[in-house]
Amino acid sequence: MMNVNRPHYLFIRFLLKNVLHAVFCIKGYRIYGRENLPVRRKSAILIANHAAFIDSVYLICSLRPRFVICGAKPKYFQKWMIRQLFFIANIMKVENHDQFLKDCGQLLQNNELILIYPEMGRFPEGPGPFKKWAAEVALSNRVPVIPCYLYGTTGGQSGKKCLTVGPAITAEGDPEALTQLFRKSIIDLNPHP
């Protein structure tokens, strides 16, 4: 099993989360559609656009329950300091497609909430192409998928930073069609199209 949910790192994350959440709110960060966010841990997938490294911090501060971020390329785990930050953020290393599907499936079977960036990389100019990995995980595990759009974390986006959360999507159909639905659902949440 992947290296996540380590108790001492989760405790550090809890402390940092409260401080950063207060700072973000003072600076005007807002959450729209909060009623669509889970209030306790459960088997579900959050999906979001990914424009900048800081996105994960905003998402961690936006949710009450802990969750696992699935995931990051192995190269990011090579430096000690970054590896420690990833452990605090509860970020799973992704070696390959098959390992990703297996690890996400295990987490969901253990009643974990997971975050997947369907682009599987950062796209600062706006949502990039989506890979089918998130859809494959959702279809294999038959869990709800909650779309989110994080706005304002890159220089090209003016206005206040905000998170917009849409209603849960039922995982059905084929991976390609579901991936297109995920992309449309996320893009439609952009508060400044």
pLDDT in tens, 150-163: 999 987 777 889 99
Residue 2 has pLDDT above 70, yes or no: no
122-147 average pLDDT score: 94
Residues 6+ apart with CB under 8 A from 113: 38, 41, 42, 43, 44, 45, 46, 63, 65, 66, 67, 68
Q: What are phi and psi of 189, to 5 degrees?
A: -85, -10
Axis crossing angle, helix 7-26 with helix 80-89, rounded to the nearest 10: 80
Q: Which domains does the chain have, with CATH numbers?
A: 7-188 (3.40.1130.10)
Predicted local confidence at residue 14, as pLDDT? 92
Token pair of 78, please? 């090579």
Q: Which pTM was predicted?
A: 0.94
Predicted local confidence at residue 158, as pLDDT? 78
pLDDT in tens, 17-65: 999 999 999 999 999 999 999 999 999 999 999 999 899 999 999 999 9
What is the spatial distance between Cα 182 and Cα 184, in angstroms, rounded to a whole number?
Answer: 6
In contact, 32 and 191? CB cutoff 8 Å: yes
Token pair of 19, please? 């401080």
